[in-house]
Amino acid sequence: MKDLFNVKLRLLTATLLSIGLLHASPGFANGVDTPATQASVNTGTTLYNGISTDYGASFVGIPYAAAPVDALRWQPPQPAVIGSEFDATVAGAACPQIASPYGVGSENEDCLSLNVYKPKPRQGKNAQQKLPVVVWMHGGSLTSGVSSLYDPVKLVKRNLVVVTINYRLGALGYLSHPALAAETEAGNSGNYGLMDQQAALRWVRDNIAAFGGDPDNVTLSGQSAGGYSVLANLVSPASAGLFHKAIVQSGVYTLEEPTQQQWEVAGSALAVAMGCEDQSAECLRNLEVATILENQGSIATQYPIVVDGATIPQQITNAISTGEFHHMPVMNGSTSDEFSLYVAALNELVGNPVTEENYLQSIIGAGIPEVIAPLAQAEYPVSDYASPGLALTALGTDAAFACNAQAMSFWLAAFVPTYAYEFADPDPAPLLPPISFPYGAYHGSDVQYIMQTPNSLIAEKSKPQKALEHQMLSYWASFARHGNPNVNLAPYWFRFKTSLPVMQSLKPWLAYPTLNFHQKHHCEFWYGFAES
């Protein structure tokens, strides 16, 4: 099974995933519906003063680790010193990232904060019962994104406690370097952003009960690079016991993580580019944040999770396909037109639309190896689609996401209860300007159905879309509560099994099981290029 699905196509992952979290501007989500009064929670060590909302209360900008500055830069996260009282009414800063049309610029390293959103207290016999907890990790290629973009009011209204987190990004979050490795007992470097996520989960374990959450019923969820981070935490020994269910939305499924030693070569080259010819940790820690951000792209377009033998002991796909991960129920899925954002951002919106004449070159430009590109062109002829852009969208969606998501579901289902889905709303609220063909269910379009995001406010959802939103929220809430998405009166969602790979199709008005995902997305074609 492993060999069959280990597809070796490496598309422009960094570009794709940064597109997946274009919604990156600060200060959107404080969880505040209307101006309201103060709400307070006492954890026993700190009194957190937040804001009372129409649905409950929000507590934002809570430090879960000390600011990773000076001597703590490129160190595992250390405990935060907060004091006896904390003002949790202002969202924390985004972690350092380059300003772009797709992200928020920030040079503030004091960014390791989280936000807690809780519903109103319940009445009656269940008033003291702790609620399921959902921890959300944003996407953005591990180089951009911020938690304050996601207002989880829709989930909170389903009687869930929701936590959204920031974590270190780019070189500051994922640099490996020999000088940094020499400082640690295990000799590892890199994966600092992943360690931040684990520190946030430990904060949840230790404090969430005071906010009404159940520390023994935590679902870790994320989209795009956030979904990839969920998979990494499933594999990491340091995440053991910190969460109990997992939701992966359009994650990265076949990325080959470099070894720490391989990535240290890139880290050493980056040190030289930034002026640290002596390769010392002291020089690296004295660099201005702006210098790091300006130079990190000169060495690599993405800063990956690495196999360091400690935080990540082996390739993520190897671990999952052989059952060497934390066993728990998993929900895993993708959207039906993931790649349309890529075609828009790198073709349509920059004056280079896909045409019949440049179709083959556009396939290669999308990251398909030249030896495979002509075969892919024949598999996805322009004549089968309404436009060349739609043809490339279908090709890229299948190669980069759909078939790899299905492969991950096969691996997971061999060991744990797995629920697979495809989000297929043909007309969600847009994220980018109009192009010559419909975006369809683009990468990240499913998020607006479970979270309030900036683009979800662009247009009122239609009645069928509202029905889909209600259905999805019911599924997500039930999964967080029970590890099973099925609820009363909902279309039944069958488990994905290796012998019966059924997916749940999520469309306006209708959610239903389907067995034709494999054929629809040409997966037999793409699996044919698997490594043997």
2-11+328-527 and 41-67+77-119+141-215+258-303 share one fold: yes
Domain positions in the chain are 2-11+328-527, 41-67+77-119+141-215+258-303
338 is catalytic: yes
User: Among 438, 367, 338, which residue's Cα sits nearest to residue 376?
Assistant: 367
- Residues of the chain with pLDDT > 90, as a percent, come to 84
Which pair of tokens denotes residue 287? 């660099």
Q: Which of 18, 106, 144, 224 is catalytic?
A: 224
For the stretch 374-406, pLDDT in tens is 999 999 999 999 999 999 999 999 999 999 999
Catalytic residue among 109, 338, 348, 469: 338
**What six digits make up the tokens of 81?**
């010193």
Is 75's pLDDT higher than 60?
yes
Band the pLDDT of 18: cuts 50, 70, 90: very low
Tell me if 151 sits within 8 A of 28, measured CB to CB. Answer: yes
Q: Catalytic site residue 443?
A: yes
What is the model's pLDDT at position 11?
38
Average pLDDT over the chain, rounded to an integer: 91
Determine the Cα–Cα distance for residues 306 and 267; give it in Å rounded to an integer: 12
- Contact predicate 363/354, CB 8 Å: no
Query: Helix 225-235 and helix 13-20: axis angle, to 10°?
Result: 110
Predicted confidence at residue 102, as pLDDT, reads 53
Residue 532 is predicted with a pLDDT of 39
Question: b vs e for 28-58, b when ≥16 Cβ sit within 10 Å of the residue's Cβ?
Answer: bbbbbeeeeeebebebeebebbbbbbebbbb
Task: Name the residue type at position 288.
Answer: E
pLDDT digits (tens, 9 = 90+) for 130-172: 999 999 999 999 999 999 999 999 999 999 999 999 999 999 9
Active site residue 107: no
Paired strand residues for 213: 131
pLDDT confidence band for 458 (50 / 70 / 90): confident
Whether 100 shows a pLDDT value over 70: the answer reads: no
Rg (CA), the chain: 22
Give percent of the chain above pLDDT 70: 92
Question: How high is the pLDDT of residue 299?
Answer: 85
pLDDT band with cut points at 50, 70 and 90 for residue 13: very low
Q: Does an H or E element contain 185, and which?
A: none
The 3-state DSSP class for residue 486 equals coil
**pLDDT at site 33:** 45
* Confidence at residue 509, expressed as pLDDT on a 0 to 100 scale: 86
Which structure tokens are listed for 98? 């380059």
DSSP letter assigned to residue 473: H
pLDDT of res. 463 = 96
- As a three-state string, the secondary structure of 429-468 is CCCCCCCCCCCCCCCCCCHHHCCECHHHHCCCCCHHHHHH
Residue 103: pLDDT band (50, 70, 90) is low
Poorest-pLDDT segment among 19-33, 113-127, 341-355, 411-425: 19-33
Q: What is the mean pLDDT of residues 289-316?
A: 94
pLDDT beyond 70 at 471? yes
Buried b (16+ CB within 10 A) or exposed e, 461-480: beeebebbbebbbbbbbbbb
Q: Which of 138, 177, 244, 443 is catalytic?
A: 443
Alpha-carbon span 261 to 35, nearest angstrom: 52
127 pLDDT above the threshold of 90 = no
Task: Provide DSSP, 235-292.
Answer: H-GGGTTS-SEEEEES---S--PPBHHHHHHHHHHHHHHTT-TT--HHHHHHS-HHHH
Q: What is the tens place of the pLDDT at every residue in 401-448?
A: 999 999 999 999 999 999 999 999 999 999 889 999 999 999 999 999
For the segment 198-227, what is each residue's pLDDT rounded down to a tens digit? 999 999 999 999 999 999 999 999 999 999
Per-residue model confidence (pLDDT) at position 125:
75
Return the pLDDT at 7.
37
Cross-strand bridge partners of residue 511 = 506
The second-level CATH assignment, the architecture, of 2-11+328-527 is 3-Layer(aba) Sandwich (3.40)
Least confident of 22-31, 350-359, 468-477: 22-31
What is the reported pLDDT for 382?
A: 98
CATH fold for domain 41-67+77-119+141-215+258-303? Rossmann fold (3.40.50)
pLDDT of residue 529: 86
What HEC string does 381-442 produce?
CHHHCCCHHHHHHHHHHHHHHHHHHHHHHHHHHCCCCEEEEEECCCCCCCCCCCCCCCCCCC
The region of weakest confidence among 73-82, 117-126, 276-285, 346-355 is 117-126
